[in-house]
């Protein structure tokens, strides 16, 4: 993919701020994904794709992992999320989502679901 699609300069400070102030669930998910604990794949935190910032992104798999808090229950946020998901799909990027509660209950179970998602053949987006 083109460099202008990923980690746009104008979002650099915003990405840095998000990395430095993760939610508890984002922190726990990062602990589960980092250091190749997720099947040997490398994930990046707060990675921008177009004008959107993914919580976690694996370039090798073209996979976004999102951790959604209660703000994602808001109808306007749901519209935004749907547009964002469509944008990712248009770029050939798959997405898997978890709630804060799922991550805080068992990050290991979430990482297992990610590994299953990775290893199960998926139709193209």
Phi/psi for 8 (5° steps) reads -60, 140
Residue 55 is part of a domain; what is its CATH number? 3.40.960.10
In this prediction the pTM is 0.88
pLDDT over threshold 80, residue 7: no
Residue 46 domain-assigned (yes or no)? yes
The per-residue pLDDT for 11 is 85
pLDDT band at 67 (very low <50, low <70, confident <90, very high): very high
Task: List pLDDT tens digits, range 73-99.
Answer: 788 888 999 999 999 999 999 999 999
Position 77 in a domain: yes
The dihedral built from the CA positions of residue 47, 49, 50 and 52, taken in this order, carries a sign that is negative
Report how many domains make up the chain: 1
DSSP class of residue 67?
E
pLDDT score at 95: 95
Whole-number pLDDT of residue 1: 47
Q: Quick check: is 63 in a domain? A: yes
Residue 21 DSSP one-character state:
S
CA torsion angle for 46, 40, 38, 14 (degrees, to 10)?
0
Q: Is residue 124 part of a domain?
A: no
* Residue at 125 is within a domain: no
Per-residue pLDDT of 31-57, as tens digits, reads: 999 866 778 899 999 999 999 999 999
Residue 91 within any structural domain of the chain: yes
Query: Which residues lie closer than 8 Å to 122 by C-beta, 6 or more apart?
Result: 94
**Torsion angle in degrees (nearest 10) through CA of 88, 107, 102, 60:** 10
Residue 84 lies in a domain: yes
Q: How many CB atoms lie within 10 A of CB 39?
A: 15
Domain carrying residue 7: 3-119
């Amino acid at each position: 993919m083109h460099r202008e699609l990923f980690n746009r300069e104008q979002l650099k400070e915003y990405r840095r701020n998000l990395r430095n102030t993760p939610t508890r669930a984002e922190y726990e998910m990062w602990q589960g994904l980092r250091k190749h604990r997720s099947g040997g794949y490398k994930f990046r935190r707060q990675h921008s794709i177009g004008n959107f910032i993914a919580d976690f992104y694996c370039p090798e798999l073209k996979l976004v992992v999102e951790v959604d808090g209660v703000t994602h229950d808001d109808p306007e946020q749901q519209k935004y999320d749907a547009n964002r998901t469509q944008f990712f799909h248009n770029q050939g990027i798959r997405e898997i989502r978890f709630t804060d509660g799922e991550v805080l209950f068992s990050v290991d179970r979430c990482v297992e679901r990610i590994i299953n998602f990775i290893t199960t053949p998926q139709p193209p987006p």
